[in-house]
Structure 1
Amino acid sequence: MKLSVRKKISILPVLLFLAVGVAMIPDAKDPVGVGVKAPKGAEMLFDGSRKMLDEKWTYWEGPRFAAAMPIKWQVEKDPAGSGMVLNSNDPAGAGGKYGAADIVTKQTFRDFRLHVEFYVSKPGGNSGVYLQNRYEIQIFDGDTTIHGLGSVINESIASPSPYRLYTGSGKWNAYDMEFRAARFADGKRTEPAMVTIYINGKKAHTNQKINQVWGGPNSGIDGGNDGGKGITDTPGGLKLQSEGHDVLFRNVWIKPLVLKEANTNF
């Protein structure tokens, strides 16, 4: 049966919508974005339970450490969903004292696929995700600068803040990453670390090289080595930062990988 002109015209918006929708689908080979479940072979690092927090995480006892076990981060009700979430607002980190009460996984990693969901409760909320307890991926509401939200700290010129992909405070956001650790031969670094990042399902950085740690000796396991450039071959845990703000986390999982080639594009 032939469509009338009126019917043909009426379906044009639908066809246009579908075309735009397909164009907006990210080119990741794996699902990315808020709500993505851990795939086969991945390990849950935080599922909303206090039990998992205590089993898999500890404080990072760096130079500015000022907290005491047990972890004072609170498990509380999800303000914009169901289930329980983790609040990074530790009393020891009040006033933006990064390093005073950060938490890190007891397990360490080299190459991996990572998923972290975060919720900034109020404007100006600040935290961060540290890969291998070395390299910071910024969480800072309102910061659109070269060190702003979603940026790979210290690689800002080549990798500025993709702030446009952030949905704002009071909403859940997701980082999906594939990370390749630095490579070494005879104790010397031959290849820098590398990461590809999606923010809320949209690609933000592709094969971004990371040449040094952020924050000097207060930052991570190699922080005090040669101004942050003295990276070692020591594997590191996933670290989440406490800076005295109500930044929440949920659905945190990691899948160890072995990336032989210098390519994290997924």
Structure 2
Amino acid sequence: MAQIGVGAKKPRSAHWLFDGSKKMLDKNWEYWEGPRLAAEPPIKWKIVDDPVDAGTAVNTNDPAAANGLYGAADIVTKEKFKDFRLHIEFLIQHPGGNSGVYLQNRYEIQVLDGDSTAHGMAAIINEKAAPYSAYNGLGKWNAYDITFRAARFDKDGKLKEKALVSIYFNGQKIHDNVHIQQVWGGPNSGIDGGNDGGKGITDQPGGIKLQAEGHDVLYRNIWIEKLDIEGSQIDF
């Protein structure tokens, strides 16, 4: 198994989504063209010095997303994914800092300081809370290690099995082989958010999306490994 937790090194079988550089940000990412998009390319998220370690990170605080206007300046990978293993690290600089990691630009894994509810830190948004004690706190790096199995459909395009996810938060398993029920947040949230109240999941791969909500939330060390997961167990 690949390393997990803060500082986990990318295995050879994975590829970089973001290594801290502006070059890779522009190469691999773009603004998500959702109904609320207010930002214009190129991406305005700033590359900043890592406040803890050597190197650089990206700050989500895009001016177009001020006052929590999610969907106005979110960025998404140009490449789309089905099943995968994702590693991503984040740091929240101020109390109440808010962002989010979206799997397939559908399902949000929350990034929110100060909230331990099913809408809070490391939650499968609005469905399953995570132990807040796993969070390292403000001004410190945190890591999600995620294995994701996309929803499955029959030959007529009808949903037959909902998406599955297992997640480690700073090396602690917090979600174990959990079915994700729907997309939350409406059409401004991501793919299928406006379909049947978020329940109309379609058989369409999606990118990894990071949410801008006008807060100083940093990201670094993002890598992904494409998988083809047979069966309905994704423990790792």
Q: Normalising by structure 1, report the TM-score.
A: 0.87
Find 1:45's aligned residue among 17, 35, 55: 17
* Partner amino acid, structure 2, of 1:177: I
* Partner amino acid, structure 2, of 1:67: A
Q: Do the aligned partners of 1:196 and 1:206 also contact (CA within 8 Å) in 2?
A: yes
Find 1:214's aligned residue among 184, 197, 203: 184
| Alpha-carbon distance between aligned partners in 2 of 1:180 and 1:152, rounded to the nearest angstrom | 14
- Find out whether 1:224 has 2:194 as its counterpart: yes
Structure 1: unaligned runs, 5 residues or longer:
1-28
Structure 2: unaligned runs, 5 residues or longer:
none
Q: CA deviation at 1:146?
A: 1.9
| Alpha-carbon distance between aligned partners in 1 of 2:71 and 2:199, rounded to the nearest angstrom | 19
Shift >6 Å, 4+ stretches: none
- Find out whether 1:183 has 2:183 as its counterpart: no
Task: Give matches, 1:187-198, under 5 Å.
Answer: 187-198=157-168
Q: CA deviation at 1:74?
A: 0.3
Q: Do the aligned partners of 1:93 and 1:244 also contact (CA within 8 Å) in 2?
A: yes
Q: Do the aligned partners of 1:149 and 1:161 also contact (CA within 8 Å) in 2?
A: yes
Q: Deviations over 1:185-231 (max 9, x none)?
A: 01001000000000000100000100101101111111110000000
Find 2:116's aligned residue among 121, 144, 160: 144
Find 1:105's aligned residue among 77, 81, 88: 77
Q: Deviations over 1:6-42 (max 9, x none)?
A: xxxxxxxxxxxxxxxxxxxxxxx43210000111211
Q: Deviations over 1:114-172 (max 9, x none)?
A: 000000011110000000000000000001112110000132xxx22321100111000
* Partner amino acid, structure 2, of 1:84: T
Find 2:64's aligned residue among 92, 96, 119: 92
- Find out whether 1:203 has 2:173 as its counterpart: yes
Q: CA deviation at 1:263?
A: 1.3
| Alpha-carbon distance between aligned partners in 2 of 1:71 and 1:194, rounded to the nearest angstrom | 31
The residue aligned with 1:234 is: 204
After the TM superposition, which of the residue ranges 207-216 and 230-239 deviates more from structure 2? 207-216
Find 1:123's aligned residue among 95, 99, 119: 95
Higher helix proportion (structure 1 or 2): 1
- Find out whether 1:165 has 2:134 as its counterpart: yes
Q: Do the aligned partners of 1:99 and 1:241 also contact (CA within 8 Å) in 2?
A: yes
Aligned residue-pair number: 235
Q: Normalising by structure 2, report the TM-score.
A: 0.98
* Partner amino acid, structure 2, of 1:220: G
Find 2:107's aligned residue among 131, 135, 142: 135
Q: Do the aligned partners of 1:56 and 1:107 also contact (CA within 8 Å) in 2?
A: yes
| Alpha-carbon distance between aligned partners in 2 of 1:100 and 1:30, rounded to the nearest angstrom | 34
Percent identity among equivalent residues? 64
| Alpha-carbon distance between aligned partners in 2 of 1:264 and 1:104, rounded to the nearest angstrom | 24
Q: CA deviation at 1:107?
A: 0.1
Q: Do the aligned partners of 1:184 and 1:233 also contact (CA within 8 Å) in 2?
A: yes
| Alpha-carbon distance between aligned partners in 1 of 2:3 and 2:22, rounded to the nearest angstrom | 27
| Alpha-carbon distance between aligned partners in 2 of 1:50 and 1:203, rounded to the nearest angstrom | 32
Q: Do the aligned partners of 1:126 and 1:245 also contact (CA within 8 Å) in 2?
A: yes
- Find out whether 1:57 has 2:25 as its counterpart: no
